[in-house]
Amino acid sequence: MSKIGFISATRISVIAGHTFTQLVRMKVFYFLVVFAVIVLGSQFVDMSTLGAVTAVEQNLRVMKGAGFFAMNMFSVILALSATALLLPKDIEDRTLYTILCKPVPRLDYLIGKLLGVISLVTVGLLVMDGLFCLILNIRVEAMVAEQADLLTRMGRSVEVIETHAAAIRDQGVTWSLQAGVIAVLLKAIVVASIALLVSTFSTSTIFTIIITVVVVLIGLIQAEARDYFLQQQSLGMSSPMLEMTRWVSLLFPDFKLLGIEDGVINGERVSLSLLGRVSLAGVLYAAIYTVLSWFVFRRKEL
Amino acid sequence: MTGKGVAAVEIVDLVKEYPSSFRRKMFRAVDEVSLRIEPGEVYGLIGPNGSGKSTTMKALLGLVAPTSGLCKVFGCDSMKVDARQHVGFLPENPYFYKHQTAEETLKFYGRLCGMRGKQLAMRIDALIELVSLQDARKRRLGGYSKGMLQRVGLAQAMIQEPQLLVLDEPTAGVDPVGSRQIRDLIFQLKEQGVTVFLCSHLLEQVQEVCDKVGIIFNGKMVQQGSLSELTSVDSHTEILVEDMDEVTLEKVREVIEQGGGELLASGAPRRSLENLFIEIANQCGEEAR
């Protein structure tokens, strides 16, 4: 009897491809229509643009904020619901029996499912990003033309007009904006891997969703909580909560580490090294949760 | 593939316990079950609901870990993935991904087994024909009947031409004609040297196809052996005669009594309801053609 490899890229790709098709046929991409409505709607938010670059930038910030909020929300919801749905459904429908009775190691199955969800979120984000960049670019160019016209009429020099235009374009489609989208994807990947871990021991989709949401919420606020208790300590007020937040940081992901969109919305540039660190943190979190999922799932009684 | 003298299936003192609701006491679903199936044999495991048939099968497929004892498939520990290379499994009332067609389903399972390209396409064509789903091969499984799903299940179990086929209630939900087809298929597989391990409630069907039978009750193997060993009544002799009149029958009775025996019953043998149904279905089919 020949040996089956511990892990196989081919088997993983078969399961990932199948998961992607399964989710696409569940018509999950309909949410893109809602996203388009939000992004198009944010265009109509108009603050006073009476020659002030700050007001123009503020308009673009609102637009970028709405875009990132929608991208974050849809990618996290998609990653969470798709992952939470898949494993319990396979167990309930007994399709898992027929898969695991083939020469498929359980790790391949888990990674395949996770990659299928990640592919879906990536495609969804690419479409959202494309649409967002297109609309943002149209808006930026319209603002640049409008401001140039206004400043020309005010008799400002070409240099001043060009400086104005560059400042507005800095708030538009930039590489830093794409880095922000990558951070959104990384957050969705971490959420999917948490949902995968929870679904290996949960018995229902709803339980998986609730527990994952709780973990994500803790992950979102833990940095603030830690900072607060550290501040208390520096003021001489010792609290057992500080020790607790240290334990929490070991068990739960710190989503603040992955959050670079706020800077991007404010027009800050994201350096390559920062993007590398954020990517490393995201991939590391996802890898840890996937390995933990495998530990739980490898001996799970079906 | 298999060494000489290696059993297709070997289960030794298998015990499987599950925690009960309050986790104080363990519930023993399978209690020291042992069985051995030689390559090419058809083994039927029968027993009432909840007797431990499916759990035994799951342990053999590595879906549950034995509490104690061992399960081997062609000499390989069933908990190892390698043991499943030559195994096909049809679960009871199988469900598949509703979004897929029969063809896509078989392609998916075939690719999981490492099959590719022309080899896989040819195997899918052959299996779809074998389970008579040619007209429905491009339809999504969401619209399939229970019997059709069972046939898809059987086809996926056979996709990689396994040497051992594990069938849990293979004819559940299948009409008598389909049920007969499955029976014929098991005979065909047996001729090809495939080992079949099945469990069923349909005792008549088990009797028809199995070489060996095991009877499991409350998790314990109560009896097992070859069909002839288990079903023959040693003190009785059966004679089947064609075209005999009453006078001759009386003479036969006298001869039996002279020899110290007793004629217990005589009369026209009855065909089974299944045979009658198949006969009528075939007739109707021919008339329709």
Q: pLDDT by residue (tens digit) across B130-157?
A: 888 888 888 998 888 888 888 899 899 9
Task: Using the predicted structure, report yes or no on whether residue A51 has a pLDDT greater than 60.
Answer: no
- The DSSP bridge pattern shows strands B9-19 and B68-73 to be antiparallel
- Percent of chain A beyond pLDDT 90? 33
Q: Identify the residue with better confidence: A267 or A196.
A: A196
Instruction: Decide if B82 and A95 are in contact by the 8 Å CB cutoff.
Output: no
pTM equals 0.83
Chain B contact for A91, CB < 8 A?
no
- The pLDDT assigned to A242 comes to 67
pLDDT of B229 reads 74
Q: What is the mean pLDDT of chain A?
A: 85
Least confident of A43-57, A170-184, B68-82, B111-125: A43-57
**A217-243 pLDDT, tens per residue?**
988 887 777 777 777 767 776 666 667
Please tell me if residue A104 touches chain B, with a CB cutoff of 8 Å: yes
Alpha carbons B163 and B189: distance in angstroms, whole number: 9
Which pLDDT score is estimated for B71? 92
Output the pLDDT for position A278: 92
SS3 label, residue A265: helix
- pLDDT for residue A282: 93
Delimit the domains of chain B by residue range. Answer: 9-231, 246-288
Q: Minimal Cα distance from A19: which residue of B?
A: B97
Judge whether residue B19 has pLDDT over 90: no
Give the nearest chain A residue to B153 (CA atoms). A98
Strand partners for B165: B88, B196
If DSSP codes are grouped into helix, strand and coil, which group holds residue A31? helix
Instruction: Kindly tell me if the per-residue pLDDT of A150 is higher than 80.
Output: yes
CATH classification of B9-231 is 1.20.1560.10, yes or no? no
- pLDDT score of B288: 64
Tokens for B45, please give them.
């495991």
pLDDT band of residue A54 (cuts 50, 70, 90) is low
Q: In the predicted model, what is the mean pLDDT of residues B119-133?
A: 91
Specify the higher pLDDT residue, A283 or A227: A283
Chain A CB within 8 Å of residue B88 CB = yes
Please name the residue that has the structure tokens 């363990």. Answer: B26
Search chain A and give the residue with CA nearest B78: A101
DSSP readout, chain B? ---TT--SEEEEEEEEEEE-TTSSSEEEEEEEEEEEE-TT-EEEEE--TTSSHHHHHHHHTTSS--SEEEEEETTEETTSGGGGTTEEEE-SS----TTSBHHHHHHHHHHHTT--HHHHHHHHHHHHHHTT-GGGTTSBGGG--HHHHHHHHHHHHTTT--SEEEEESTTTT--HHHHHHHHHHHHHHHHTT-EEEEE-S-HHHHHHH-SEEEEEETTEEEEEEEHHHHH--TT------SS--HHHHHHHHHHHHHTT------SPPPPPHHHHHHHHHHHHHHHH-
Q: How far is A131 from chain B (nearest CA, A)?
A: 29
B 141-170 residues with CB < 8 A to A? 153, 156-157, 160, 166
Using CA atoms, how far residue B288 sits from B278, B280, B285, in Å, is: 15, 12, 5
pLDDT(A71) > 70: yes
Give the pLDDT confidence score for residue A261 in this predicted structure. 83
Tell me: pLDDT of A32 over 80.
no
Task: Say if the Cβ atoms of A98 and B75 lie within 8 Å.
Answer: no
- Give yes or no for a contact between A8 and B82, defined as CB atoms under 8 angstroms apart: no
Query: Is B86 an 8 Å CB contact of chain A?
Result: yes
Q: Cβ separation of A93 and B95 shorter than 8 Å?
A: yes
Nearest residue of chain B to residue A12 (CA atoms): B112
Contact (CB, 8 A) for B135 and B114: no
Cβ-based neighbour number of residue B118 at 10 Å? 7
Q: In the prediction, which pLDDT does A280 show?
A: 94
Span A172-224, pLDDT tens digits:
888 889 999 999 999 999 999 999 999 998 878 888 899 999 998 988 887 77
How much of chain B, in percent, has pLDDT values that exceed 70? 91
Instruction: Give long-range contacts, CB 8 A cutoff, 24+ apart: A88-92.
Output: A88/A199, A88/A202, A88/A203, A88/A204, A88/A205, A88/A208, A89/A205, A91/A302
- CB–CB contact A97 B156 (8 Å): no
DSSP symbols for A174-218: -HHHHHHHHHHHHHHHHHHHHHHHHHHH-SSHHHHHHHHHHHHHH
What pLDDT shows up at residue B289?
64
Model confidence pLDDT, tens digit, residues A81-123: 889 888 888 888 888 888 998 999 999 999 999 999 999 999 9
pLDDT score at A60: 84
B86: its two tokens: 């030559």
**Strands B68-73 vs B164-168: parallel, antiparallel or unpaired:** unpaired
